[in-house]
Structure 1
């Protein structure tokens, strides 16, 4: 009977149509060490079939609105992405100070803090033109009418950070990037903050799979970052 029951369960499970979820993941998911815990969550939910999208140039919030993604864990700069509050739901998970990211032996690494003006004589490393990263950088230095000495773009955050580490240029990013990628973070002044958000369509917010995953993430970051 036990053997028959085990065989029956395997047949039922294998024949069950899984719920498919498409999730966008930004670089801050990795630098804040959330990804292994996210994978662990879905390992406990075999009824969910998950596809992760991790393109550095992906506009996750546009993808949520057009239905290409079910949800995203990514930055959501205030007044930049243009998420309509009547359409999208977003919950802040982790807030981080923005820093100038440099090689450990870079001249700026010796400073206790750095401004955008301090950065203008160095090569700036950023995302593809018109990407979220690029739009934010333009907003940051556009306020001060700064022209960079040189800009190098890449569609890979790993490539950008390898160039930072080698001393080929500097980048703007959160404190968590420093330890994760082995670079130096110099706090940006005036102080700026950026956040990692959970986001989905409001119409999907109460779907069981999305609701439970969002609750899990909220509990996860609360225990990991009580402040």
Structure 2
């Protein structure tokens, strides 16, 4: 049996929405059409993907597995189409994703010297999409900050750097030469808790169950706005805090948390000579 990527796309959207009406709206199809396509997919796979009643739609264990495996498959298909279209146009481009605070100029110049006929495109990424841009083909390589989902990726360490606490300028800890993570136990952390496991282990909010849902920031600028306005504090790499300095925010070193690890990542099965050459340049 060949898996129908259109049905898989319908499934992924429905799995994200868990509502047939909203999913059909996103897909620009009628709800009965979506229902028929999902039933057809279940028949083809010989499994039940959703449990549905009058009040809710939930994924089964098989559905959760298909979602985990299906999203990278769809992203790989999109990436394939982009690379084929590029080849058809007769152009050679090499796209590099990079996180805030990381300067890629020297590496890009060195790569351009080796490959003067290749057009290099730079894509600024965020915590939320630094891996997505690889999986959907927007970039060939991505300079990422760990932790990331490394499934299907080749990840090469580059360097580490210390992390700092970013606080409002009038915060009680502002001006300290250094603090410990326990000093932040009562603070509201704007990072995803999993990104700072040291804080997660001592957080008052997490212990008491009073932590509000984590906000999905699309840029470091948004996060710093919330820090400046007293909405919370953030733990970020030192280079990022220095690059985005502002007078209403201050940084304080945190002595007992691990460094941020910066790595070069790309899709593991790809064997492009350009990826190899760029990886050699960044070391």
Instruction: Report the TM-score range of the alignment, normalised by the length of the smaller protein.
Output: 0.5 to 0.7
Alpha-carbon distance in structure 1 between the residues aligned to 2:225 and 2:143: 23
Alpha-carbon distance in structure 1 between the residues aligned to 2:195 and 2:145: 11
Corresponding position of 1:25: 98
Q: Residues 150 and 162 of structure 1: is their aligned pair in 2 closer, same or farther, counting only changes over 3 Å? A: same
Corresponding position of 1:215: 280
How many positions carry a matched residue from both structures?
A: 187
How far apart are residue 51 of structure 1 and its match? Answer: 3.5
1:192 to 258, 262, 268: 258
How far apart are residue 189 of structure 1 and its match? Answer: 4.3
How far apart are residue 147 of structure 1 and its match? Answer: 1.1
- Alignment gaps of 5+ in structure 1: 1-15, 127-132, 219-227
Q: Which has the higher contact order (CA 8 A, sep 6+)?
A: 1
Corresponding position of 2:109: 40
- Alignment gaps of 5+ in structure 2: 1-88
Corresponding position of 1:147: 205
How far apart are residue 212 of structure 1 and its match? Answer: 1.6
RMSD across aligned positions (CA): 3.3
Corresponding position of 1:59: 129
- Quick check: which one's strand share is greater? 1
Identify the range of structure 1 (172-181 vs 36-45) with the bigger mean alpha-carbon deviation. Answer: 36-45
How far apart are residue 56 of structure 1 and its match? Answer: 2.0
CA contact (8 A) 1:60 1:69 kept: no
Bigger Rg, which one: 2
Alpha-carbon distance in structure 2 between the residues aligned to 1:104 and 1:38: 35
SS in 2 for 1:173: strand
Asked whether 1:113 is paired with 2:178, we answer yes
